[in-house]
């Protein structure tokens, strides 16, 4: 939440969690189904062009027969809305909002979040129903186009935001090592699921047999795993970590620990599985290299525990328009509303092969 926030007159029970696209397999756009207390809404999140995450495009759509729905761009400093969209015929159905408290902006302008609601019959008038916590709202969906497709107001979950369980990450359709079969006129294709992505697999790979009774019918899946997935190709000792859909080689096995992982998280994928991953991470991916070599802590109490030598943060880079741009300063991070919580650390030297772009200043 920004420093401009002074109060919150919205009911905290109406606050629903924001889903982090970076922890979901596959590139944007993503569709998320929200079962609000009284309503069902599909939220589609897709990336807008440009490096800044200080703006967001909000679009309202609704199924036939659903009237009087609206979305307010809400500013907590004013405790009032700064813009709105609706579906009452004369309303505009899209708006571009600016993050409240962004550098160079007064506290009374911009939006901290959006409020979903409706115009009720009679004296009730406008009724606010649901909103999202400001920090997550902008950190996760800033820089995106977010479409709210309101498809029902008769079949909600009955659970308000305070009763809704928090998201579980990584957010995947099926657990690791699920086997799938896709029947085709020319034969049968088989897949194994790792990190929420489907990898083609053949008899003999990873001990796989097409006669395995656990194989289930094929379900369309992304081709790239969620952030933080560790993979090892069949027949190879090399381990890679996936960020922004791209595989980063972990040259030293000890770095698995200094990067915050352990060997239990490494998943085997079929031979040539890395070839289906992109040469560049997805736009919006924030990266920095682990610039110091791991140092072994000696002694019986430490065994193989490791820590990085030194303590200074290395440079941060942003993937924008499929180019790697150096974010030159903390000021540049703040000016573009780039969240530090999304900066991913990769092994030293991992960024050398990515195509460079212009610096992101000042």
In the block, residue with structure tokens 């289930």: 216
Question: Which residues on adjacent β-strands are paired with residue 149?
Answer: 42, 61
Tokens of 171: 């957010």
Instruction: Examine the pLDDT at 300 and tell me if it is beyond 60.
Output: no
Average pLDDT value for the chain: 89
155 with 248, same domain: the answer is no
Q: Provide mean pLDDT across the span 79-100.
A: 94
155 with 251, same domain: the answer is no
133 with 17, same domain: the answer is yes
Distance of alpha carbon 256 from the chain centroid: 23
Domain termination residue (choose one: 121, 142, 163): 163
141 with 20, same domain: the answer is yes
Instruction: Examine the pLDDT at 266 and tell me if it is beyond 50.
Output: yes
Q: What is the pLDDT of residue 106?
A: 80
Write out the DSSP string of 71-106: EEEEETTTTEEEEEEE-SSSS--EEEEEBTT-TT--
d(CA 304, CA 169): 27
Tokens of 37: 């207390």
For residue 191, tell me if it sits in a domain: no
In the block, residue with structure tokens 């703040």: 334
Tokens of 47: 């990336």
Nearest CA-CA partner of 138 in 276, 18, 264: 18
In the block, residue with structure tokens 């352990």: 262
Q: What is the pLDDT of residue 107?
A: 78
d(CA 201, CA 147): 36
Q: Read off φ and ψ for residue 241, nearest 5 degrees.
A: -110, 140
148 with 248, same domain: the answer is no
For residue 352, tell me if it sits in a domain: yes
For residue 273, tell me if it sits in a domain: yes
Q: Say if CB 220 and CB 191 are below 8 A apart.
A: no
149 with 46, same domain: the answer is yes
Q: What is the pLDDT of residue 125?
A: 80
147 with 273, same domain: the answer is no
Domain termination residue (choose one: 163, 191, 211): 163
150 with 265, same domain: the answer is no
How many residues in the chain? 362
Q: How many domains does the chain have?
A: 2
Q: Which domain holds residue 136?
A: 12-163
For residue 53, tell me if it sits in a domain: yes
36 with 156, same domain: the answer is yes
Q: Which pTM does this prediction carry?
A: 0.89
- Output helix, strand, coil percentages for the chain, rounded to the nearest 5: 10, 40, 50
For residue 200, tell me if it sits in a domain: no
d(CA 327, CA 336): 10
Q: Alpha-carbon torsion 97, 99, 103, 108, what sign?
A: positive
Q: Read off φ and ψ for residue 292, nearest 5 degrees.
A: -125, 145
For the purposes of burial, counting CB atoms within 10 Å of the CB of 173, is it exposed (0-12), middle (13-18) or buried (19 or more)?
A: middle
Q: What is the pLDDT of residue 312?
A: 41
For residue 238, tell me if it sits in a domain: no
Domain termination residue (choose one: 110, 130, 163): 163
For residue 185, tell me if it sits in a domain: no
For residue 201, tell me if it sits in a domain: no
Per-residue pLDDT of 5-52, as tens digits, reads 555 668 889 999 999 999 999 999 999 999 999 999 999 999 999 999
Write out the DSSP string of 131-194: E--HHHHHHHHTTEEEEEEEEESS---S--GGGSPPP-SSB-SS-TT-EEEEEETTEEEEEEEE
38 with 138, same domain: the answer is yes
d(CA 25, CA 4): 34
Per-residue pLDDT of 234-254, as tens digits, reads 999 999 999 999 999 999 989
Q: Say if CB 70 and CB 86 are below 8 A apart.
A: yes
Residue 254: CB atoms within 10 A of its CB come to 15
262 with 129, same domain: the answer is no
150 with 288, same domain: the answer is no
Asked which of 29-33, 115-119, 152-156, 168-172 is least confident by mean pLDDT, the reply is 152-156
């Amino acid at each position: 939440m920004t420093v401009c926030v002074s109060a919150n007159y919205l009911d905290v029970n109406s606050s629903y969690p924001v889903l982090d696209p970076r922890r979901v397999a596959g590139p944007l756009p993503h569709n998320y189904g929200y079962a609000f207390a009284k309503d069902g809404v599909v939220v589609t999140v897709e990336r807008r062009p440009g490096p800044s995450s200080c703006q967001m495009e909000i679009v309202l759509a609704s199924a036939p027969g659903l009237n009087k729905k609206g979305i307010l761009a809400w500013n907590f400093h004013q405790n009032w809305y700064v813009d709105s969209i609706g579906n009452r015929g004369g309303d505009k159905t899209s708006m571009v909002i600016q993050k409240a408290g962004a550098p160079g902006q007064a506290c009374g302008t911009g939006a901290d979040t959006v409020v979903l609601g409706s115009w009720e019959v009679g004296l009730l008038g406008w009724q606010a129903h649901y909103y999202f916590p400001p920090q997550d709202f902008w950190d996760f969906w800033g820089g995106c186009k977010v479409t709210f497709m309101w498809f029902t107001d008769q079949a909600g979950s009955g659970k308000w935001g305070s009763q809704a369980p928090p998201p579980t990450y990584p957010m995947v359709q099926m657990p690791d090592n699920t086997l799938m079969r896709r029947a085709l006129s020319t034969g049968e294709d088989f897949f194994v699921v790792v990190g929420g992505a489907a990898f083609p697999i053949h008899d003999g790979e990873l001990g796989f047999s097409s006669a395995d009774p656990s194989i289930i019918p094929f379900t369309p899946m992304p081709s790239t795993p969620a952030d933080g997935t560790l993979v090892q190709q069949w027949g190879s000792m090399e381990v890679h970590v996936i960020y922004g859909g791209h595989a980063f080689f972990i040259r030293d096995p000890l770095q698995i620990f200094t990067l915050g992982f352990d060997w239990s998280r490494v998943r085997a994928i079929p031979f040539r599985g890395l070839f289906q991953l992109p040469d560049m991470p997805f736009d919006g991916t924030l990266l920095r290299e682990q610039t110091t070599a791991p140092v072994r802590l000696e002694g019986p109490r430490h065994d193989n525990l490791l820590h990085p030598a030194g303590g200074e943060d290395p440079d941060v880079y942003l993937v924008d328009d499929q180019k790697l741009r150096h974010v030159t300063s903390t000021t540049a991070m703040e000016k573009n509303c780039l969240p530090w919580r999304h900066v991913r650390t990769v092994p030293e030297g991992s960024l050398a092969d990515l195509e460079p772009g212009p610096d992101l200043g000042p």
